[in-house]
Structure 1
Amino acid sequence: MSANNPPYGQDPDRTTAYNWNQGQQPENQPTAQYPGQPYPPQQPYGQQSAQGQGAYGHQGAYGQQQPPYNPQYGQPQPPQGPQQPYGGQQAQGGWQQQQGWQQQPAQQGWQQQPQQQYQQGGWQQEQQGWQQGGWQQQGPEGFGPAEPAKKGRKSWIIAVAAAVAVVLLGGGAVWAVGALGGGGAQPSDVLPANSIAYARFDLDPAANQKVALFQIARKFSATKDAFSGEDPRKALFDLLNEDGSAKADFAKDVDPWLGSRIGVAAVPSGKDEPDIAVAVQVTDQEAAKAGIAKLMEDDKYGIAFRDDYALITESQDLATKYAEAEGSLTDNAEFSEDMGAVGEQGVLSFWASMSGIIDLAKKEIPADQVASIEAIKNARFAGALRFDSAYVELAGVVRGAKGMAPDGDLPKANIGTLPDTTAGAISISGLDQMVTKQWAEIEKQATAAGNAQVSQMLQQFKTRFGLNLPADLATVLGQNFTVAVDSEGLNTDQIKGGVRVTTDAAKAQAIVDKVLNAFAQNGQPAPQIAKVAGDGVFTVATTDDYAKKLATEGTLGESETFQTAIPNADDANFAIFVDLDKIENLYLQSMQGDDKANAEVLRAVGVSGSQTDTEANFSMRLLFN
């Protein structure tokens, strides 16, 4: 997370900002403003524009429905200019295009016949196109003819993918392709400036997010053929009303006024519990009043309006107070800086201030834990769930804490220097510092009531193996501790795995030898391991050849899969990497049908992050083939 990221809200389309290894965005490609003016200009849901119909209806803004384009996805980029987009001519409220795009079959993207017309505010095609809220397709991989949905139980990852697609896409390609907005006010623009926690759910994120999510959903059998609906807001309403208890009807009571963004904030109340404020984007205030009243039924609540949002609280006085307040959460400098550090806000984002939360919970904090909380009392954390065509990512930052790396900057994980045949690895820096710093507390907990076994185990380490704790343990864990498993040999009885430690190699080998000798002296078989003591690096492995291979600097970091999964590898202090393509033979053979096809889509998993004494960031990515 670069310190040079612009403040929250100034960079509308952050794909290249967080996708560090995939280059820069094309110079002439327009971005979807976040927040700000969307591209293309778009009317609120269900409203008529001057030359066409609203987004979610069937026609795009200015009487046209515009297919997405992005050179990164192999799609043609239309000529720039406000008067003649796509090279068309304006006629009868729509765009008449004399010459359409022509793609070669080998390319991924949009394949269309030359004679296409934008007529009557929509897009009419002779051979293919969008029809009645669905999407009829022709073309190569990813956009070929839709296959019938196959039956079969879903694994948990497929169930998650299906749920995300249903809620965010609403089953509608019209939303994913036609509503490329993402602009306008955010919930943080109307919620109180002194909020201590905030969460935002956005059904109208930046264009890159919609296109990426659409492409990902098309990869799975559970979601690829589910594009028949048109409105993700209704999908969300139906999801929340699965039991059918709501008396409100979506079409009559919700659709006429509901926007696409919802925000929730916890606000200090001066009591043991915070006040809760909900900001719902609306397009018609009077209709919203009536619809919300029907949704709330007999529940007590207050409602007031600010900008394009309805503020809903537990009392009318509170709602009016928040609506009339000066400033907003967006004006909170810490909030804006933290969200700016996160980057692209995606479809879900969140933020919290630990100081405010601790103030609320201070009566419940045990006296013996007050000191440990001191280090995080001024911390704040922020994060976002976002999409790229190649992966889904949960990213976040922690700022304002202290004592996270008390002995200075932590060493780098250097996981990219593992062998290129690595199937999976975990690398953590600073374990020596953590053990040394926390040892007194570890012994204290070990001697506490109920922990006799832990206390006995620590004593055996000292007496049986002759270890000097915590110094010897800190030496073995080292400045960086990396565990790796190689893809070669996974199908044999001799798995190649090992540990590489950045430490005093001579001391580490002496400690390991001491432990192995203790086994022999007690008549117990010692573990058979291979050891390599290098310059500042100590390596142990299951085989001699893998120990030598692991001790040598490898080229895993040159892999495109690794670079995408671990985007900040050069700066990471901790990392987890699993190349699913290299181990899929271990589990695919026991799968069949849709389960097997969906599992083959999964490519790799990456978790990484870095930290200083006061800040930390993390990225969790699931990659797709």
Structure 2
Amino acid sequence: MSFDAPAGPPPSGPPETLDFGGGKPLPPDRGGRRGLLAVVGAVAAVGVAGASWAAWSFFSTGAQPAEALPGSTIAYVSVDLDPSGGQKIEALRTLRKFPAFEEHVGLDADDDIREWIYDEIQGECDDLDYADDIEPWLGDRFGLAAVDVGADDPAAVFVLQVSDEDGADQGLTALRDCNGATPDEGAWVIEDGWVLLAETEDIAQQVADDAAKGTLADDDDYRRWTGEVGDSGVISMYAAPEAGALMADQLTGVTSGEDFATDCTTDDDGAVVCSGSSIGPDDTMPVPDEATKALEDFRGAAATIRFDDGGVELEVAADSTTVGRGLTGGDDAGEVASSLPADTVAALALSFGEGWVDDLLEQIAQTEGGSVGDLVDEVTNTLGIDLPEDAEAVVGDALALAIGPDFDPTALDSGSTELPGIGVKIIGDPAEIDGVLDKLRTAAAGADDGVLDSDPGDAAVAVGPDAGYRAQLVEDGDLGGTDTFGRVIEHADGAAAILFIDLDGGDDWIADLAGDDQELRDNLEPLDALGLSAWRDEETAHAVLKITSD
């Protein structure tokens, strides 16, 4: 649900403050009496004006850092410490359920979160007083951006909202001095209620001048992608189309001794081994042509983090051309997930579109430096299946890996093949699916120990080592009708992928992960469920991750 603030300024007259403890009604106007109708009309007018103001102040999020940045901004992250009234209530209502928040943060509804942040990061500024030196000018919103200023690399710019420009200049100078920095270590420009901090004053001024010609908030790409993620939250993120080309340039220029060093190891001969490939000290990290082209064709993305319905959610919208269409083109993940048993503890459901095997083979071949033909021959010789037809048949219209309440995760550590309460449900043609499974069972030559055992149903096949759980999976369950599933899974109809975890399901398994750590158990206890759903809308990929509390 979205709410738009009324156009123009709020109604005139003294504003009412949003107060979590309630407030007193405004006293009635005691001017001249002109009869009952006049009194009713006056009361109605006051009521409408007051309601309009309350709605405007409650749902409006106010000015955002995007209004102080130019349209040439490449990437942007903003934080809103004073979001809409509903966000404040949901954030505090949710966070206060966790003992760690109460112990280490302990914020109440009327506390100033800005002061808490300042106290945490002030460094050596003990001589500054927040109430006297910071609070009078500090705003509620800030952001960090990468801005194209015509140089080889984008400029890093910090944006901070201020209510008193002269006070902000004095306060920032005091902060810089008390931390031992010099005027050469960062500079700022203050215009129209915003501080722009950059490496040099020239850069900050150029960003301000460029913003005067056209802001990020008015940029068509920014408006499109931030509109795709819906209502803004406490954190907002945006990547412009130009970010794709920038990332492509960075990837193609990375060598084994640079950014990928943390993902690589060095063997006895001094060669760097990354993801199974040996790369010499002067070699360039191989990047698939398809990945580079996808980044060059990137058209933008946005994300937001907000509090809602007793939990927190991350919503993302991105250009879907960065991923193979077949891999994200299915729309039946919700159907198979919803048909699982109602007491399902965890499930991962996937639905692929046409051509997903070809997409996957092409990506693997480019990454490994081989050919698609060689890959097909290797799979056929090893597994005895034909590509792409057998792979497409065995996944059906959609499949779901499901875990029931009887599943014991310790069995995985022991290496036991007796895995009760786990299995895969595949929606599709049972004869085609079982035909491919027969080929896989033959190739395994009995080594699967029942993992590939299957039971066919009318329009589905259940696969797994637990015959009792297979019998449950092959039937039509009602996970999709449960309140828990409905709270965390958005847009199940048409979803390409769904991840569902009932954190209260089973025998209190989420708390058991903490073992004897009582503090951790207490902080895991309020968790209710986790859900991730992803779907495709024409050329836009959407995803929503939700974590709810009891």
TM-score of the two chains, using structure 2 as the length reference: 0.75
Contact 1:188 1:329 in 2 (8 A): yes
Other-structure match for 2:213: 326
Pick from 393, 418, 443 the counterpart of residue 475 of structure 1: 393
Q: CA deviation at 1:551?
A: 1.9
2:227 aligns to what SS in structure 1? Answer: helix
Is 1:549 matched up with 2:472?
yes
Pick from 60, 66, 82 the counterpart of residue 204 of structure 1: 82
Paired residue type of 1:486 = G
Is 1:416 matched up with 2:338?
yes
Other-structure match for 2:275: none
Contact 1:565 1:621 in 2 (8 A): yes
Other-structure match for 1:188: 66
Pick from 96, 103, 111 the counterpart of residue 230 of structure 1: 111
1:193 aligns to what SS in structure 2? Answer: coil
Contact 1:338 1:399 in 2 (8 A): no
Deviations along 1:440-460, whole A, 9 cap, x unmatched? Answer: 4424545669xxxxx999877
2:347 aligns to what SS in structure 1? Answer: strand
Paired residue type of 1:604 = A
Is 1:344 matched up with 2:236?
no
Paired residue type of 2:330 = L
How far, CA to CA, are the matches of 2:10 and 2:520 in structure 1? 39
Contact 2:326 2:352 in 1 (8 A): no
How far, CA to CA, are the matches of 1:34 and 1:236 in structure 2? 32
- Report the more deviating stretch, 218-227 or 334-343: 218-227
2:535 aligns to what SS in structure 1? Answer: strand
Paired residue type of 2:218 = D
Summarize the Cα distance change of 1:394–1:519 in structure 2 as closer, same or farther, 3 Å threshold.
closer
Other-structure match for 1:398: 318
Contact 1:35 1:182 in 2 (8 A): no
Is 1:486 matched up with 2:404?
yes
Deviations along 1:294-331, whole A, 9 cap, x unmatched? Answer: 22331434433332212223333333333342221111
Q: CA deviation at 1:399?
A: 3.0
Contact 2:488 2:531 in 1 (8 A): yes
Structure 1, unaligned stretches of length 5 or more? Answer: 1-15, 18-30, 42-49, 52-60, 70-84, 92-178, 450-454
The alignment yields a C-alpha RMSD, in angstroms, of 3.6
Structure richer in helix, relative to its length: 2
Is 1:505 matched up with 2:427?
no
How far, CA to CA, are the matches of 2:457 and 2:107 in structure 1? 57
How far, CA to CA, are the matches of 1:384 and 1:529 in structure 2? 41
Q: CA deviation at 1:600?
A: 1.9
Is 1:569 matched up with 2:492?
yes
Contact 2:332 2:397 in 1 (8 A): no
Summarize the Cα distance change of 1:317–1:518 in structure 2 as closer, same or farther, 3 Å threshold.
closer
TM-score of the two chains, using structure 1 as the length reference: 0.66
Q: How does 1:144-543 map to 2 (within 5 A)?
A: 183-224=61-102, 226-227=106-107, 230-241=111-122, 243-244=123-124, 248-296=128-176, 297-300=181-184, 301-324=186-209, 325-359=212-246, 362=249, 365=252, 369-376=288-295, 377-399=297-319, 401=321, 404-405=324-325, 409-413=329-333, 414=335, 415-430=337-352, 433-443=355-365, 445-446=367-368, 461-488=379-406, 495-520=420-445, 524=447, 526-527=449-450, 529-534=452-457, 536-543=459-466
1:351 aligns to what SS in structure 2? Answer: strand
2:306 aligns to what SS in structure 1? Answer: strand
Other-structure match for 2:27: 89
Paired residue type of 1:307 = D
Paired residue type of 1:501 = I
- How many residues of Structure 1 are paired with residues of Structure 2 in the alignment? 468
Deviations along 1:101-138, whole A, 9 cap, x unmatched? Answer: xxxxxxxxxxxxxxxxxxxxxxxxxxxxxxxxxxxxxx
Contact 2:80 2:142 in 1 (8 A): yes
Other-structure match for 1:45: none
Structure 2, unaligned stretches of length 5 or more? Answer: 30-56, 254-285, 412-417
Other-structure match for 1:604: 529
Contact 1:32 1:207 in 2 (8 A): no
Is 1:66 matched up with 2:19?
yes
Summarize the Cα distance change of 1:429–1:577 in structure 2 as closer, same or farther, 3 Å threshold.
same
Paired residue type of 2:292 = I
Q: How does 1:584-599 map to 2 (within 5 A)?
A: 584-588=507-511, 590-591=515-516, 593-599=518-524
Q: How does 1:10-21 map to 2 (within 5 A)?
A: 16-17=1-2
Contact 2:428 2:460 in 1 (8 A): yes
How far, CA to CA, are the matches of 1:456 and 1:370 in structure 2? 18
Q: CA deviation at 1:462?
A: 3.0
